[in-house]
């Protein structure tokens, strides 16, 4: 396992955003499975579970939107370079 020196790279990267979006998507799926299996009764009410699922979904949407908006613009394959 590679040890990372946190003092070298403190900037938020596309990889960080992608990891956050992916993690939130996985967490959302995990909560949905628990909700479908009705295994939320011991830790929270049905309403609390629904609210939590919605908040995770919204957070994922926000991180994904930031990731997409900050992605470098890629040139379309059939577009001609400037000046031609």
Show pLDDT as tens, one digit a residue, over the chain (84 residues). Answer: 676 665 566 888 889 999 999 999 999 999 999 999 988 777 789 999 999 999 999 999 999 999 999 877 654 455 455 544
Q: Where are the alpha helices (DSSP H) in 3-83?
A: 14-36, 46-70
**Looking at residue 75, what is its pLDDT?**
41
**Looking at residue 5, what is its pLDDT?**
61
**Looking at residue 12, what is its pLDDT?**
86
In angstroms, the CA 51 to CA 33 distance is 15
Assessment of whether the complete model's pTM goes beyond 0.85: no
């Amino acid at each position: 396992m590679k040890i990372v020196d946190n003092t070298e790279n403190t900037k938020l990267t596309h990889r960080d955003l992608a990891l956050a979006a992916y993690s939130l998507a996985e967490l959302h799926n995990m909560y949905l499975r628990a909700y479908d299996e009705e295994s939320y009764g011991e830790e929270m009410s049905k309403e609390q579970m629904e609210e939590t699922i919605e908040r995770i979904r919204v957070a994922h949407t926000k991180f994904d939107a930031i990731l997409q908006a900050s992605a470098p613009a890629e040139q379309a394959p059939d577009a001609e370079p400037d000046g031609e």
